[in-house]
Amino acid sequence: MDLAQSCAVADGVLIIKKEAGWTSHDVVAKVRHLLGGVKVGHAGTLDPAATGVLPVLIGKGTRIAEYLVEWDKEYRAVLRLGDTTDTQDATGTVLASHATDQVTEAAIHEAVGRFRGPIEQMPPMYSAVKIAGVPLYKSARAGKTIARDARTIVIHTLEVMAIEGRDVTLRVVCSKGTYIRTLCADIGETLGVGGHMLALERRRVGPLTIEQALTVDEVVARHALGRLGDDLLSMDLALSQLPVAVVDEQTADRVGHGAPVPLAKILRWEGAAAGERRSHEPVRIHDSAGRLVAIGKCPEVSGDALKVEKVFSDQVV
């Protein structure tokens, strides 16, 4: 039984619990093969050694990747103090080692506290960030260090969950573009002993949580039983953090052809931030029956219409 036979929603988001050793590309290739070659993508790469939530986008669900990658993310990371590695994680070569006997719990909490809120973070050399069109990791593997600018990220939450010897377990809620291994390395440097990320689990991507996630083996088993559709989120549900503009059928028909939505034609606002909309914020556009018609963007303060970005007029909630 293929996906079209086994589920009512053929386009959407599957929440995968990636296990260690799999690349994000491996997971996508496995799901694509399982579903008979339908279009499959993902939102937010996880390194092979990392585990946890990987949103896998099915069919037309691939068109909403740009909205999912904007969401905040929650991680559980283990920082190992004392050893600095070239990759900032446990897969790299140890460059320097320092004793950690003199590092107190109070000092750890104080150092961690310095990294809350908006901070400047330098993208690591072993990353997919491109400089002059070349991914940094390719330059790193060639033994080169490339000049790069720090980026502003936001650490919404940073908590010490446990300290066991030189291993510090952290809970991190952060903005997109945050490198947790760089955060670990920077905390170690602040403590004067260095450090690297020993382990990483992504617990949440926006509203998509690890409690909802399936391992690849579970996906295979549920597909074989014809039940995978029960776990596939519709595009509308996956985008539930976005506010909703409800329009009448005539306006919905025009939206289906890409026409903008005059604010006067919006019957009502629903959902997240319905009463507090920001300029250029993405918005789901529903018809009066509750179907997802399109995704638009709020106008400038002086604007009077939603601009339509993506049309999904054949979607079912």
Domains of the chain by start residue, with CATH: 3-70+207-237 (3.30.2350.10), 73-205 (3.30.2350.10), 242-311 (2.30.130.10)
**Model confidence at 4, in pLDDT bands (50, 70, 90)?**
very low
Nearest to 119 by CA among 111, 109, 127: 111
pLDDT of residue 295: 94
Is position 304 annotated as part of the catalytic site?
no
- At 141 the three-state DSSP class reads helix
What are the pLDDT digits (tens) for 161-184?
999 999 999 999 999 999 999 999
**Model confidence at 44, in pLDDT bands (50, 70, 90)?**
confident
Beta bridge partner(s), residue 52: 18, 202
Candidates 2, 11, 26, 47; catalytic one: 47
What are the pLDDT digits (tens) for 108-165?
999 999 999 999 998 877 766 677 677 776 776 777 777 777 899 999 999 999 999 9
Find the mean pLDDT for residues 265-270: 90
CB-CB contact of 53 with 28 (8 Å): no
* Amino acid in the structure at residue 144: K
* Amino acid in the structure at residue 50: A
CB-CB contact of 15 with 230 (8 Å): no
